[in-house]
Every structure is written in C-alpha cells, then in structure tokens.
C-alpha cells in the first residue's frame, strides 16, 4: 500500500489512478475488441460491407481511443514519479525495475499515440493492433508482478 506524507496527495493520486484505469480500459478494450471481433468481419461480410462497417466504427474510435492512450500515458507518468522512490546504494529494487520496464513499454505506446493525435502520423510498422495489444498485456502482467 502506498503511503503519502500529505492526505491531499493521496486523494490526488487516487483520482489520477482512477482516470488512468478508465483510460486504459478504453484503449485496451478497443484493442481487444478489434483483434477478436472487428478483424473477423471480413469472414462474414462482403469487401464493400466490411469497408463500410469498419469505417463506421473507426470514425468514432479515432475520436476517443488515441486520446485515451495519451491520458493513460500522462497519468501513468504522474504515478511513476509518485511511487518510484529513491534508488538505494545497492541498486534498484525489483519493484523499481519492473516499474521502469512497464513505463518504457507505456512510453512506446504513448509515442505512437502522440504521433497519431498531434501529427497525424500513422504507425510505420505494426499497422495491425497485435503489437500494441501485446504491449498492453505485458504492462498488465508487469503491474501484477511489481508488488510481489
């Protein structure tokens, strides 16, 4: 359990953490739905129907999901700096190592999201959502192992 010196900081952290969880649900949830369901639409729809249906969905997704990713990364950075702590003379703890790996993976996703939202740059490689989904799963697993 995290301990804060000031009560206001604990409340702020809880609010930021809640926002982080919701934004991760939005981003990760879309990746999950896209990989398991939307990508399977060509099996039952004609190419024209598939294009039309996918664009109808993606028109709304593009407005929310990349921004949710940026919120997730920004709130994640805030939490990182709140809980990382000082590095002792004996080196980083396993918590700090796993948190650093998790933050690095999150920043990779964030770089991709920032390019899309602010610069209109689509991913150069890994145009499908398998790579970001894999990173999200790894981040979730790391977040579970950090506190062991």
Q: Token pair 């003379």 is at which residue?
A: 89
DSSP character for 5? Answer: S
Stated pTM of the model: 0.84
DSSP character for 89? Answer: T
SS3 128: coil
Averaged pLDDT of the chain: 89
pLDDT band at 141 (very low <50, low <70, confident <90, very high): very high
pLDDT for 117 equals 79
Q: Is the pLDDT of residue 128 over 90?
A: no
Whole-angstrom distance between the N-terminal and C-terminal Cα of the chain? 12
120 sits in the region (left: phi over 0; alpha: psi -120 to 50; else beta) called left
Q: Which residues of 133-143 are buried (b: 16+ CB within 10 A; e: fewer)?
A: bebbeebeebe
pLDDT for 120 equals 77
Share of the chain above pLDDT 70, in %: 92
Q: Where are the alpha helices (DSSP H) in 1-148?
A: 7-36, 47-83, 94-119, 130-145
pLDDT for 62 equals 86
CB 121 within 8 A of CB 115: yes
Average of per-residue pLDDT across 19-23? 96
Tokens at 21, concatenated: 């969880």
């Amino acid at each position: 359990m995290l301990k804060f010196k000031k009560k206001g900081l604990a409340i702020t952290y809880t609010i930021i953490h809640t926002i982080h969880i919701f934004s991760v649900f939005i981003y990760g949830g879309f990746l999950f739905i896209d990989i398991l369901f939307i990508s399977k639409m060509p099996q039952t729809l004609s190419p024209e129907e598939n294009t039309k249906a996918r664009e109808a969905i993606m028109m709304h997704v593009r407005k929310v999901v990349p921004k949710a990713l940026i919120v997730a990364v920004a709130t994640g950075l805030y939490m990182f700096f709140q809980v990382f702590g000082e590095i002792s003379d004996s080196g980083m703890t396993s918590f700090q190592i796993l948190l650093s790996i998790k933050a690095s993976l999150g920043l990779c996703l964030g770089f991709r999201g920032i390019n899309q939202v602010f610069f209109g740059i689509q991913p150069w490689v890994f145009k499908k959502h398998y790579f970001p989904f894999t990173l999200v799963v790894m981040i979730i697993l790391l977040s579970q192992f950090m506190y062991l």
